[in-house]
Amino acid sequence: MRKPANEREIIACRTAQFFQDGNIVNLGIGMPTQCLDFLPDGVDVWVDTENGAIGLAGAPGENDEFPVDVVDAGGRPSLLRTGGCCFDSFTSFGYIRGGHVDITVLGAYEVDAEGSLANWMIPGKAAAGMGGAMDLVCGSKIVIVMSTHCDKKGNPKIVQKTEMPLTGYKVVNYIVTELAVIHITDEGPVLEEIAPTTTVEEVVAKTGAKLIIPETVKTMSF
Amino acid sequence: MAKSKVVSVAEAMKHCYDGMTIMLPGFVNCGVSPTLIDGLIEAGIKDLNVISNNTSVKGKGIGKLVHENRIKHITCSHIGSNTETCEKAVAGEIDITFVPQGSLAEKVRAGGAGIGGILTPTGVHTPMQEGKQLLEWDEEQGKYIFVEPDDPQKGARYILERPLHADVCFVHAYKADKMGNVVYHRTARNFNQVFATAADFVIVEAEHIVEVGELDPDEIMTPGALVDLVVQAEKEE
């Protein structure tokens, strides 16, 4: 496995460390799919796509046969690995809602201390729709938000109580950023790990939620 | 011998009309029915009330109906793959009702299966619960009770979602026999299978039309009993 080379890759690489061999994972469009570049040694996962397949294997390369009628959750052509399967939309969402997806990884506008997630609608702006996100966060065994710690203006994306329209209420288990790993527990958000380049003080200063700081906070290792 | 349901696109369009509610399965532009959609445009049919997951991409599939201003209202989960739909939604030219993708599939399943509604946890405490009835399981009373959004939550809470039904559904098949038995291909199956159960009139466009008896009974995904007409699909440009 290669080492992460920038902040986005740090987020993807640390998130991938949650994956266990044989997991069914659903990866949101964009940054979450980068996790596959950083699978830990000996870990093989099966990629679920909510439009109806398990076993997606990424975009076709130059030498691959063009995959007719296999698309990912963004509608882009994708390869299907040996052992992969396809099914209809209500079977797909039946197992998503029914708790058969091990891990869902997706982005956030805001996530709060209770694990409530806002990632589909900004008040006052036109929304593109939630797609399958509301079902995924409500049914998956583990929900991981991967995101930059702050937005482009430097405002914390991890807040005490989000006022934005929700995607899911109390659904997030872990938040992974370029600075920290935060575990949402019944007691509140626990700062479990920080990046090698930061300090607990910096993470606290850049977080809008009141973090629980354990006696030892581990450092991310890659 | 079973009567053939195979007709021309023009013949199939005689069953479509202005203002109808139409289910258009597909995911982005995979598993959409471009041949039948071209037929709708050709026939000048308008004021459509569309039920779909999204609206393809700009200028293709359902995107053509958007471009030609044939759609009055869409019930869907996402429009982000088609910039033109987003623009028309902002301009107020198309009315959109968002439904979470899994709830959409399940509402249509209910509509096709004669079920009065579904209880789903998806969307509880989100804008999706607005204007809908909420039910919570009360362990002490051993029954569901209706609750208000701001009531403190004590048990598992669900949104009561009503079934969806349509006048017409367009289905995209990989193979269909002349009786309308359908086989889908890979992820092009998506919403086709469930939408085909919930419309009064189902028209299939098939990439390959085969003789009755050529499909193995076990490979048929949508029974021909649900299908009214079959047309030959053309390759989308």
Please tell me the CATH superfamily of domain B9-100+164-232, with its number: Glutaconate Coenzyme A-transferase (3.40.1080.10)
At A187, list the tokens: 């007691």
Q: Give the pLDDT of residue A129.
A: 96
Q: Give the pLDDT of residue B237.
A: 73
Residue-range domain boundaries for chain B:
9-100+164-232, 118-161
**Which residues in chain A are closer than 8 Å to B185, comparing Cβ atoms?**
68-69
Q: Do A89 and B125 touch (CB under 8 A)?
A: no
Decide if A202 is catalytic: no
Q: Which of B105, B126, B127 is facing A89, going by the closest CB pair?
A: B105
Q: Locate the chain A residue with the closest alpha carbon to B110.
A: A90
Considering the domain A7-48+99-219, what is its CATH architecture? 3-Layer(aba) Sandwich (3.40)
Q: Give the pLDDT of residue A160.
A: 98
Q: Give the pLDDT of residue B1.
A: 67
Q: Which of A74, A80, A167 is facing B126, going by the closest CB pair?
A: A167
- A89-97 and B101-113 helices, crossing angle to 10°: 120
Task: Report pLDDT digits (tens) over A83-117.
Answer: 999 999 999 999 999 999 999 999 999 999 999 99
pLDDT in tens, chain B (237 residues): 679 999 999 999 999 999 999 999 999 999 999 999 999 999 999 999 999 999 999 999 999 999 999 999 999 999 999 999 999 999 999 999 999 999 999 999 999 999 999 999 999 999 999 999 999 999 999 999 999 999 999 999 999 999 999 999 999 999 999 999 999 999 999 999 999 999 999 999 999 999 999 999 999 999 999 999 999 999 887
Q: How far is CA A104 from CA A128, A141, B142, B192, B226, in A?
A: 20, 8, 33, 25, 35
Q: Is the pLDDT of residue A144 over 70?
A: yes
CB B135 within 8 A of CB B157: yes
Mean pLDDT of the A45-60 span: 97
At B80, list the tokens: 């982000």
Task: Report pLDDT digits (tens) over A170-219.
Answer: 999 999 999 999 999 999 999 999 999 999 999 999 999 999 999 999 99
Q: Give the pLDDT of residue A2.
A: 82
Chain B contact probe: residue of A54, A70, A90, A97 with most B CBs at under 10 A:
A90
Q: Give the pLDDT of residue A83.
A: 97
- Round to whole Å and give the CA distance between A160 and B18: 50
Single pTM value for the model:
0.97
Q: Do A75 and B57 touch (CB under 8 A)?
A: yes
Q: How many CB atoms lie within 10 A of CB A27?
A: 26
CB A42 within 8 A of CB A65: no
Q: Do B126 and A52 touch (CB under 8 A)?
A: no
At A161, list the tokens: 């109580």
* ipTM of predicted assembly, 2 dp: 0.97
The whole-angstrom distance between B71's CA and the closest CA on chain A is 17
- Round to whole Å and give the CA distance between A59 and A115: 32
The dihedrals phi and psi of B165, each to the nearest 5 degrees, come to -145, 155
- Residue that has been written with the tokens 């509608």 in this structure: A75
Q: Is the pLDDT of residue A67 over 70?
A: yes
